[in-house]
Amino acid sequence: MDEPLISIIIPTYNRANVINETLDSVLAQTYTHWECIVVDDGSTDDTALLLNTYNEQDHRFKYLFRTKEPKGASSCRNLGLQNAKGEFCIFLDSDDMLLTSCFEQRLEMAMEYPNYDFYVYPMKVQMNSELKIKKIEPSESYLNDFLKNNIPWGIMSTFWKMGFIRKLNGFNISYPRLNDPEIHIRALIFSTNGYYIGTEEQADTIYRVSNAALDKTSFSRKYADSLLLFVNDITAHLRKVNLNDKIFLLVGYLSEYFLDFALYNTRINNHKVLAVFYKNKVIDLRSLMILFSVYYCKVFTLKIDSLTTKTFIKKFKNL
C-alpha cells in the first residue's frame, strides 16, 4: 500500500524572522511523505530568499507568491489547496510548530478510521516561555460550542481529508476575521461521514501567542465587518439543514464584540452589527434594547463598569 501524501499549507506575510522554525518542525517529522506549500501574500522582507533556500535543499517545499486581491490568510490557503496533491491536509500559521510525531499520529488514526471527513487533535499553547496543553474537552455538541464562540480547537488541530475540504470550497475569502470558526462550523454542519475528535490524544502542535500589541481600533472594525458576513452566512447554513433552533447560540460572538471591542468602533458600525444579529433572529427586540442601553451608557456617561456590563450581557444571553 502506498504511503498517503500529506499537504501542509502555510500562509505568510513578512514572517521571515519566525517561519524557519515552523519549516524546521515540518522537516523533523517522523513521517516523511509530505509536501509543504508556503503561500506568500506579497512579503517585502527576506521570505522569498529564505523559502528558495529551503526549496533548493528539499523539493518537498513549494513556494507560491501571490499579489492578487483580496489579501489575507484565507486567499493564501485556498491557493495552496488548488496546488496541493495530498490525500490529507493540515493548515498552519507561519509561527506554528509541529511536534515530531504529528503526521505519524494523525495518519495512524486516519488509516484506522478511513471514512471520517476530518480528525482533530489537541495542541499546546506557548505564551512567552510558558507552555500549556489546551485539551479538547468532551462535548455533547462541538457544533454548539463553535456557535457559542466557545472555540474548542484551532485551525492547526484539524487533519482534513482533501476531498472534504475541497467539497467545502475551502475558506471564505471575504472575512477579515473569524475564518477558522466559520470553516469549522461549516465542516460540522455538512460532514456526512462523521469526524474524530481526539479528546484523549496527545497534543501534537504548538500555537504561539504573539506578544505584539493589539490595535483594538483596527481589530474592532475588522471584527465588525466579519460579523456582518458571518452571521448572515451561518444562519443561512443552519436554516438550510433545519437547525433554526441553534441560531440563537451565535449571541456569544455579539457578547464578545460588545464587551471588548464596540467602544473602539463607530456608532454606525455598531448599529450595523446589532442589526444583523436582530435581522437573523439571533436576538429578540428586548435583547436589542438591552444592548442599546448598555452601549449608549458606556459611550455617553462611561459610568457602567465592566462587571455591570457583563451582568447585562449574561441577562440577554439567557433570555
Separation of alpha carbons 289 and 311, rounded Å: 15
Looking at the fold, whether 281 and 261 belong to one and the same domain comes out as yes
* Residue where a domain stops, chosen among 161, 184, 208: 208
* Residue where a domain stops, chosen among 176, 208, 240: 208
> Which range has the worst mean pLDDT, 84-88, 227-231, 264-268?
264-268
Number of domains the chain is built from: 2
Could you report the per-residue pLDDT of 299-309, keeping only the tens digit for each?
555 444 554 55
* E-state strands within the chain: 6-12, 34-40, 61-65, 88-91, 97-98, 118-120, 123-127, 130-134, 158-161, 195-197, 205-208
Residue-number span of the structural domain to which 201 is assigned: 6-208
Could you report the per-residue pLDDT of 255-274, keeping only the tens digit for each?
889 888 888 999 899 999 99
Looking at the fold, whether 70 and 129 belong to one and the same domain comes out as yes
